Chain A
Amino acid sequence: MPLPPDVEARFPGLADGFEETSPEDPTYNCIAHAAGDHEAWWQPGGGPYVYWPSRIPRNYSPEALVAAFKTLGYATCTSEDLEDGVEKVAIFVNQAQEFAHAARQLADGSWTSKIGRQEDIKHRLRQLEGAEFGTVAVFMARRRH
């Protein structure tokens, strides 16, 4: 099933083209997808229905998400450029200075994102910048497994 037109319309940058790489799946969300976890719904909070790494601040500050990715071996870096043997994630921050999305770099230099409950897509990083997700504010990197 293609990405719904009303969702696609919220990301004008996608008009340049993108590739759907998975079916719709409500099991995991964008942060989980960037983290490489397709079993859980990553979101700051408590209770049984969302997952957040233990001992990480349960709020939407970019620092909290950076701390969450650090539990996976990522460290902050300064460039989105593709580097041999390195896997990167990009954190999008909105106007409220809260994290709103994360994307993960693929081995070919393109990026992969999960849009809400919908499909995973392969895209260029800046295509998702805009009113919905804000802008890319933080890069993190780790050795590619």
Chain B
Amino acid sequence: MSDPEIIGLIRRNFVPVALNLYEIREAKGPAGDFFRAVQKQAPELYQGLYVVTPEGKRLAAHGKAEDTPAKWTAAVRATLEQALKISGPLPARTDTRGDPPGLRGKGFDKDGSSLWAVYTRPMVLGLDRRGLGDHALDSIRISAEDWKAWSPPRDAVVGTRWSIPPKVGRKLHKVLSPTSDANTLARPDEVTDATLKLRITQITDGLASVRIDGHLAGIHTWQFEPNKGKKIRAAVGLLGIGTVHLKTGQWRSLTLVGEGLYSHFPPYDEPSRYGAVVEWCRD
């Protein structure tokens, strides 16, 4: 959906809705009912695109994996055009605004939790652009309780050090794959090392600058035949900076940059380099 023509087709003709499959298929009430009724009309789809009338009648759908971006783009265009053929010509939309963005990477939710933004990308030649792969986006939910573990000790001064408990550090497991695909990613319970060490480097007007050094590693067991049981390994070195108010213990910003090595299961286990960024800011 990064093709300019596809974007234009969608903006002009449809009311676009982005839904989390795991949430909407379980949702109680009319929204969940609407989606489940749509889903029944396209049982071949797991995730993908559905074009439906406001009454929930399927016009077109596509969710088949394509082996190239060009094929995916062509299939999406065909899906949209099929829907338009059924619905007939539509006047171009004049107001194409979407809903406000969520809390990813910024601020706090009502329960005091935050959603840290995660980005990963294959970087097989390090910082050389010729080795860059596609961006992957993900997020990490940090609960109010997790935040407490990130707070510096009381009476912290320049040079004060502390560590994040492994149980909380494992939440960064999303950095353990260059594609952030859950099928390739070590789950929190598969993280074998979650070391995060912090040190205050400077304090200005009660705001502490923090340096973060970390290392995460994990071994994920592949879940599907014929390779079920084979191991996927990843390890990431992390360096980061952040700022935290010493009086309240509340963080204001945090950025981690990581260099990782990923080994898919044998025989595709030649280690490949990738990068990761985790970031969040209060405001």
A binds B: no
Seen from chain A, the residues whose Cβ lies within 8 Å of a Cβ on chain B are none
